[in-house]
Chains A and B, each alone.
Chain A
């Protein structure tokens, strides 16, 4: 079940030290354009507040 996987993944990533707010999960229907915009707006704000992600990132070159 996807939602159970996400619940544990979010909790586990937070546990190892990747900020919990970075893992964002929700449902948006194709007909919910307004909600989609709100989700993206909210997600962008949250992530902007956390700053750039440098954990689990591979630097190439």
Chain B
């Protein structure tokens, strides 16, 4: 990992010096121990801040989209001949590049506007899982050493196996390496355990309708509608989200459980062929809602019905943008 970090910093400072990019989005050390936070780097000397480790959680494609939108809006009032192009460099692992592919396919930005610095990924640590593994103690200091996390906590020294506290989405990840990149740093990482990726979903499908509904309502009752999942999701980039529209008002703003359920249902459903299972929504959720159980089902359906994995190829069209009359199933159509 150290090696990748050094190379990453060298590459980032080279890109900024050569003016190939205007800004680099990467991760820096977080304010709390054993965390990393997204950062924006515009000067070559600042590249020393960049880190790449198992605490880099958020999907940076979201920030790429935000910056590009912001820049395009700022250029609207500039004469066409004076408009400047902004190139954004991004430190991207597998899921980030999948999100970028979705953005490119949905014409959110041009391929020449993003410079992808690909990095291999061996999963990130689920903050809530780590906290649970050390029975809620506060982490004072810590480091990763040979697949183990060594921590000084308010409860004494503790050691946890890295693979035990990886996020659920990372445990079964098959896209550990960037799919598209302009420059690749480090050698490719092996896939995790992709065969087990739908196990949770299959188990849940086996339950009765009432049990499934009970679980859905139980999870949605936790939701406080802070919309952190939407803010963190790279595929949620509508300028005005349906929950904030007032004409018509799709979802009530009160505390009625059905409003929360409908918000979540609609947000989840908008992810058909667009959810890359990066786990950003799950990691930012303050209430620990099990969103992945539902998102993974959408991913599974999309793969089983249409043979498509979101953002897995630049050439593939988005699944909801095409139709295959020979292979698409028709058993959902009602024929009396």
Which residue numbers of A lie inside 8 Å of B, CB to CB?
Answer: 1, 3-12, 14-19, 24-27, 35, 38-39, 41-43, 55-59
Contact = CB atoms under 8 A, between A and B. Distances in A.
Contacts, number: 90
A35 B215 CA distance: 38
B213 interface: yes
B138 interface: no
Contact of A7 (B216, B265, B305): B305
A5 B183 CA distance: 37
Give the 9 A-B residue pairs with the shortest CB-CB distance, closest first: A17-B213, A42-B336, A17-B212, A26-B334, A38-B336, A58-B258, A16-B216, A1-B323, A7-B332
Interface of B: 204-205, 209-217, 252, 256, 258-259, 261-262, 265, 268-269, 272, 294, 297-298, 301-302, 305-306, 319-323, 328-330, 332-336
7 contacts: A11-B297, A11-B332, A12-B268, A12-B301, A16-B213, A35-B336, A59-B256
Contact of B334 (A8, A18, A39, A56): A39
B256 A8 contact: no
Q: Provide the main secondary structure of the chain A interface.
A: helix
Contacts of A19: 209
Q: Provide the main secondary structure of the chain B interface.
A: helix
Contacts of A14: 209
A16 B218 CA distance: 11
A9 B214 CA distance: 19
Contact of B210 (A11, A15, A17, A56): A17
Contacts of B262: 56
Contacts of A25: 332-334
Contact of B302 (A8, A15, A57): A8
Nearest to B256: A58
A44 to B, nearest CB: 11
Contacts of B216: 16-17
B336 A5 contact: no
Contacts of B256: 58-59
Interface centre among A8, A16, A19 (most CB of B within 10 A): A16
B197 to A, nearest CB: 16
Contacts of B298: 8, 12
B248 to A, nearest CB: 15
A57 B329 CA distance: 30
A19 B268 CA distance: 18
Given A12-B301, A39-B336, A57-B258, A3 B269 contact: no
Nearest to A26: B334
A12 B214 CA distance: 15
B305 A4 contact: yes
Interface centre among A9, A15, A41, A43 (most CB of B within 10 A): A15
Given A5-B320, A9-B269, A15-B294, 8 more contacts: A6-B332, A12-B301, A15-B212, A17-B211, A18-B213, A25-B333, A35-B336, A39-B334
